[in-house]
Amino acid sequence: MRSILVLGGTRFFGKRLVQRLLEDEDTQVTILTRGQTADEFGDAVTRLTADRSDTEALTAAVGGSHFDVVYDNICYSPDDAAAAAGIFAETAGRYILTSSLSVYDPGPEMLDEADFDPGSYPVRLGPKENFSYQEGKRLAEAILLNQTAFPAAAVRFPIVLGTDDYTRRLHFHIEQITAGRPVGIPDPEALISFIRSDEAADFLYRLGFSSLTGPVNACSDGAIAIREIISLIEAVTGRQAITPRQAADKDMSPFGITGSWHMNTAKARTAGFTFLPLGSWLPELITVLHASLGHRE
């Protein structure tokens, strides 16, 4: 019987990960959250309640239990990473940190794992509020990937999209364009990577059976220019987008990058992982979201 702990598993791809794990009859799944979001797992999971940024509460909640795999979807600071490194030093068989494309600076070339090296990154401690999202993830990787108590991997996801995206980033573009409101796009030709929420969950699930360690990029095959995303939405909505390079903050695109920001997944593919072609699902998702927002052709 495999024992799995998921830190943060009640929404978006974390929820999908738990659902995927529960399909395995020989797996006992435990989720740890603050208890503020209801879930639909019933008696199929064991629930632990703690603020993962409270080291004493987290230590008490896990109680020295052994877990074959710990999935950490909610680590945003070096303090959280350092606490986890200590708490799970003797009890984790494998540790998988959900990291981010954000550890990289944008650049014209596809980004390889070596473009940010957590092994040589100087460590500073502190809580989440002391750091930008990028710096918090960089430092979390630097701590968890350099400890030697358990094998660890850091999955660098790009922006995750899906019908269940509570941040509604793609929804925003559809709503703005349908309503005739501007969408600020600083660089329409910038290339960007994405991954679908179910694909992200499936990658995490499969990585739990793998011996792959260190940083690993995971995204759908192919990158897309921001301009092309806007064209897909125009085709579905029948409206012409208004896309100034500058706009009020409320009208700026959540994809409004100032340069290309896309990843190379050669490391994962060499290890046997496969990814969905971005072009096979993004147009369909735009159509589904447009319909779900109450718009019909």
Q: How confident is the model at residue 19 (pLDDT cuts 50, 70, 90)?
A: very high
pLDDT digits (tens, 9 = 90+) for 166-199: 999 999 999 999 999 999 999 999 999 999 999 9
In tens, the pLDDT along 44-87 reads 999 999 998 999 999 999 988 999 999 999 999 999 999 999 99
296 falls in which pLDDT band (50, 70, 90)?
very low
220 contacts: CB under 8 Å, gap ≥ 6 = 193, 194, 195, 196, 199, 275, 276, 277, 278, 281
CA distance 149 to 159: 30
pLDDT classification of 34: cutoffs 50, 70, 90: confident
Res 268: pLDDT: 98
Q: Contact, 29 vs 18, CB < 8 A?
A: yes
Instruction: Write down the pTM of the prediction.
Output: 0.95
Cα separation, 84 vs 92, whole angstroms: 10
Rg (the chain; Cα; Å): 20
User: What is the per-residue pLDDT for 295?
Assistant: 53
| 8-state DSSP, 221 | B
Asked which of 219-228, 262-271, 287-296 is least confident by mean pLDDT, the reply is: 287-296
What is the C-alpha to C-alpha distance for residues 60 and 62, in angstroms, rounded to an integer?
A: 6
Which domains, and CATH codes, for the chain? 2-158+195-217 (3.40.50.720), 162-193+221-262+276-292 (3.90.25.10)
Q: Is the pLDDT of residue 159 over 60?
A: yes
Q: Which of 139, 93, 115, 95 is nearest to 217 (CA)?
A: 115
> Per residue in 203-216, pLDDT tens?
999 999 999 999 99
pLDDT digits (tens, 9 = 90+) for 220-261: 999 999 999 999 999 999 999 999 999 999 999 999 899 999
Task: Specify whether the CB–CB gap between 114 and 170 falls below 8 A.
Answer: no
In whole angstroms, give the CA distance from residue 86 to residue 146: 13
Which pLDDT value is given to residue 297?
42
pLDDT in tens, 78-119: 999 999 999 999 999 999 999 999 999 999 999 999 999 999
